Amino acid sequence: MTLCMAAICRDGNVGPVAVVAADRMVTLGGFIEFEHTVSKMQPSSPFSVAMVAGDTLLGARLAHAVAQEFFGASPNTAEVAARLAQRYVEMRRGELEHQILSLRGLDLQKYYGGHQSLNGNITAMLDNQMAQYNLGIELLVAGVDAGGAHIYSIDNPGQPEREHDVIGYAAIGSGGIHALQAMIGFRHSPTTPLKETVFQVYAAKRRAEVAPGVGIDTDIAIISANGSVVLDEPTLSKLKDMYTHYGETTESALRTELDNLDLDEQSPEQEVISGTNE
């Protein structure tokens, strides 16, 4: 129940850039929703950001743990994504052990060590439960390094992480499909200029607000070889005005075109097609 998205582009002054955005909606217990004051963007390194959709408590803990591992270092984006995916697998293993096996007085070592002595039906049931266990977390990582700007996504069961550099954008959460459709409509590519990309990302986030669980508060950050910068409220306000004007201008132009659209059912040049029964 959220939206986190990223797009890569180029800036003539600093080179490859990643633009990331997220809402601030938090869902607790599956039914309580509220706009939080804390951003969903967790710096993983000086040049990368991790964002979480799904279980906020587990996801934030996972992202924070990896950020602590890289504290004081400058890993490339692929290393950050790989470490997150590895820690995801470890967290999922620990959670399924607690949620499924511990209730039966088992842990993974006891389960696999005594696998042959367990009732076959129970073994099949436990295997099925563990195979289908979903940690309920999606992660999106965006960053810039010597190889350029990169985007990776991680979801259940953790590995392998997926790279989205060729497409140039990715999104997770309940509003992800809406944001992706917007970026497709904008025909975004990794060579799109920075300012245009910032507007496209903002517009895609706004369009994703129709999805359940996506909040109206917005955070946008720009990551480059110079580090990351979070857009301030005056800049977000300008983007809001631009988005409103863009929508009004598009609607006005469409209305004019529709007024000039000829939908006569029949013209002298058209042949009437009718069905007859013989």
Per domain, the residue ranges of the chain are 4-251
**Domain 4-251 annotated CATH 2.30.30.700:** no
Structural tokens at position 86: 């590895």
Please give the angle made by the CA atoms of 165, 91 and 117, to the nearest 5 degrees: 125
The pLDDT value recorded for residue 275 is 55
The pLDDT value recorded for residue 109 is 84
Q: What is the pLDDT of residues 135-193, one digit of tens each?
A: 989 999 999 999 999 999 999 999 999 999 999 999 999 999 999 999 999 999 999 99
Q: Is the pLDDT of residue 134 over 80?
A: yes
CA distance 185 to 199: 13
Amino acid at position 117, single letter = S
131's enclosing H/E stretch is: helix 120-132
The pLDDT value recorded for residue 272 is 52
Q: What is the DSSP string of 191-240?
A: TSBHHHHHHHHHHHHHHGGGSTT--S--EEEEEETTEEEE--HHHHHHHH
Report, as an integer, the average pLDDT of 72-80.
92
- Phi, psi for 75 (deg, rounded to 5): -70, 160
Mean pLDDT computed over every residue of the chain: 89
The pLDDT value recorded for residue 142 is 97
Amino acid at position 90, single letter = E
Amino acid at position 206, single letter = R
The pLDDT value recorded for residue 268 is 55
pTM of the model: 0.87
Return the SS3 of 109: helix
DSSP character for 118?
A: S
Q: What is the pLDDT of residues 251-276, one digit of tens each?
A: 899 999 999 998 875 555 555 555 55
